[in-house]
Structure 1
Amino acid sequence: MSRTVYVNGEYLPEEQATVSIFDRGFLFADGVYEVTSVIGGKLLDFDGHAARLERSLNELEMPNPISRDDLLAVHRELVSANGIEDGLVYLQITRGAADRDFAYPEDPTPTIVLFTQAKPGLADNPKAQTGMKVISIEDQRWGRRDIKTVQLLYPSMGKMMAKAAGADDAWMTEEGHVTEGTSNNAYIVKDGTIITRHLGTEILHGITRAAVLRFAKEAQMKVEERAFTLDEAKEADEAFITSASTFVMPVVEIDGTALGDGTPGPVARRLREIYLDESRKTAV
């Protein structure tokens, strides 16, 4: 069944939705995006995603074509129009269409696109019961990973490398230290302490990451934000990832090395439970 999507101020059937072949998102990956989860027909952590969107646009000196209130209204309309109970809302803003030139166009008119994906049972992913297996790969992305851009080719390659290896995902490493997963933030747990890389330009400032660390501290869990090595990860008691689409997902194996007893650990399980409970309370 055709979805209703949003393109530059219009709600359209997906078959009628188009953007210019001169759009800089297509020509240069000159664009940013956000993904907001929907559970029970409500948006999780919308304000966090909206704030990060504004930061990404500012970092790229790209004008914002829509107010936060209007953006929320579009999200809600798409969720309603497409009957999304559990799923995702994708948003993408590019610098817009202009004749091909590396230099930014003067006074650009940004392109804005939103669409939904239905994901029935999103919060009941069976992988949460068994855990994920990851492989390690060299981090070969550009240096500004803190900006949520549409430059996703290498993460796509990483996911394909993981698939070819019989794993679920890949953790990227730089000088022996884990940066993040292909589309998620990475964590290990050792002697009850949650360890995750500190914020910087090397990783995305995850909205789910921020919420999970806040909930962890409120639950009196010890948290260290620092770089950790791949060797540390393989010797950890447990591990997990966070993202808007997976929430808190246990990792049970890294490069063929089982963590703990090879099953989801208690910290990851508890944090997933807390995150889902608390996020539902504040969903809009």
Structure 2
Amino acid sequence: MHEIYLNGAFVAPQQAMISVMDRGFLFGDGVYEVIPAYAGRPLRAAEHLQRLENSLRGIGLQAPLSLPEWSEIFGRLLAAEPDRDQALYLQVTRGSAAHRDHRFPARPTPTVMAMAKLMPARDPAVAERGVAVVTREDIRWLRCDIKTTSLLAAVLLRQSAQEAGAEEAILVRDGLALEGSTSNLFLVQDGQLITPPKGPLLLAGITRDLVLELAGQAKIPIQERDIAVAELQGADEVWISSSTREVMPVTRLDDRPLGTGCPGPLWRRVDALYQTFKAELRRSAA
């Protein structure tokens, strides 16, 4: 990491400091985004920034920067490693106040931060064998569509999965499988691609939407509907997706093989489409 954007300035990481009175530090009162960038080209930056604006609106904050202003920041952060794949992280909190108080400050000055870090290439062995997941009861709040920095519940759930030897926790509420602690969920049954519908109980993933777009262009049948947790073990295929994972096949569920125990044919087809999309994005940067 070469430098960080913080409140209008680019500074060295060791010089990037905020007040201990910042509400992001005290309350987790903020939102964030993660945007993958390939050869200096952010993937669907406008869509990510629209989601950021939606999250800001959800917590009663106005967008602090315009799309062109964000784009200028991204360009400088990515320029340090122009030929490498990177992940942009941006965060906006409600800023600092003179006193710790749950009530909003009358005139907040948001804290705005962005940074880029190298994004490791996907391990081919992991893609070939797939990953293990576990199901866990969803202990999060009721506005999971806001990409908030208040992530303790998700942290505990992801740690629970890691301690069980799994990559991810699939979250279950009222008998429905909603999403992972850090990912969206897909199920394949009889050649049809199924994913839970958007709503307040899950985050509308930008990668999720791209997967659906690519599948639709390939004439793969798609259904957005509730998924009963009982459907997972009998599914032909299960996938998870996120900005940094892309699309990952699940081959073990709650310590039992899922489907054939190997990545399925529809995942291989959609993953190939996704990799082609990435390659075209990289070429457009040349």
Same fold (TM over 0.5): yes
2-side partners of 1:77 and 1:58: how far apart?
27
Most deviating of 138-147 and 162-171: 162-171
1:120 aligns to what?
Answer: 120
Partner of 2:15: 16
1:100 maps to which residue? 100
**Matched residues in 2 for 1:46 and 1:219: separation?**
24
Instruction: Name the TM-score, length of structure 1 as normaliser.
Output: 0.95
In structure 1, the residue corresponding to 2:115 is in which secondary structure? strand
Q: Does residue 110 of structure 2 align to residue 110 of structure 1?
A: yes
- Write out per-residue CA displacement over residues 150-177 of structure 1, whole angstroms, 9 at most, x where no aligned residue: 1111111111111111111110100111
The aligned runs of 1:1-284 (5 Å cut-off) are 3-82=2-81, 85-98=84-97, 99-122=99-122, 126-282=125-281
Deviations 1:117-145 (A, max 9, x none): 212325x5542221110001000001000
**Cα distance change on mapping 1:61 and 1:161 into 2, 3 Å:** same
Partner SS, residue 55 of structure 1: helix
Alignment partners' CA distance in 1, 2:201 and 2:62: 24
Distance 1:137 1:260 in 2: 20
Q: Distance in 1 between matches of 2:279 and 2:182?
A: 23
Q: Once the two structures are aligned, what percentage of the paired residues are identical?
A: 38
Structure 1: distance between partners of 2:226 and 2:7? 41
Letter in structure 2 aligned against 1:267: L
Q: Is the 8 A contact 2:183 2:240 kept in 1?
A: yes
Aligned partner of residue 161 in structure 1, secondary structure? helix
**Gapped runs of 5+ residues in structure 1?**
none
Distance 1:116 1:142, change over 3 A: same
Asked whether the 8 Å contact 1:190–1:238 carries over to 2, the reply is yes
Is 2:119–2:244's contact at 8 Å kept on the other side of the alignment?
no
Distance 2:71 2:124 in 1: 26
Residue 61 of structure 1 deviates from its aligned partner by: 1.3
Mapped partners of 1:167, 1:145: distance in 2: 22
Question: What stretches of structure 2 of length at least 5 have no aligned partner?
Answer: none
Deviation at 1:223, TM superposition (A): 0.9
**How many residues align structurally?**
282
Give the distance between the partners of 1:272 and 1:76, measured in 2 at CA.
28
| Alpha-carbon offset, residue 116 of structure 1 | 1.5
Instruction: For residues 226-252 of structure 1, give each alpha carbon's deviation from its aligned partner in whole angstroms, at most 9, with x where no partner exists.
Output: 111121011101110111101111111
Q: CA RMSD in A?
A: 1.5
CA distance in 2 between counterparts of 1:220 and 1:167 reads 32
TM-score, normalised with respect to structure 2: 0.94
Judged with a 3 Å threshold, the aligned counterparts in structure 2 of structure 1 residues 112 and 19 are, in CA distance, closer, same or farther, namely same
Deviations 1:63-108 (A, max 9, x none): 2211111101111110113556112110000011112111111121
Which amino acid is the alignment partner of residue 198 of structure 1?
P
Residue 104 of structure 1 aligns with an amino acid whose one-letter code is: F
Distance of 2:235 and 2:31 partners within structure 1: 34
Query: Is contact 1:85-1:120 (8 Å) kept?
Result: no
Contact 1:134 1:169 in 2 (8 A): yes
Alignment-mate amino acid for residue 117 of structure 2: Q
Q: Secondary structure at the match of 1:52?
A: helix
Match of 1:203, SS state, is coil
Contact 1:4 1:12 in 2 (8 A): yes
Which one is further off, 204-213 or 270-279?
270-279
Q: Contact conserved, 2:94 with 2:111, CA < 8 A, in 1? A: yes
Bigger drift between 131-140 and 210-219 goes to 210-219
Map Cα deviations across residues 23-51 of structure 1 (whole Å, 9 max, x no partner).
11111111000000022232111111011
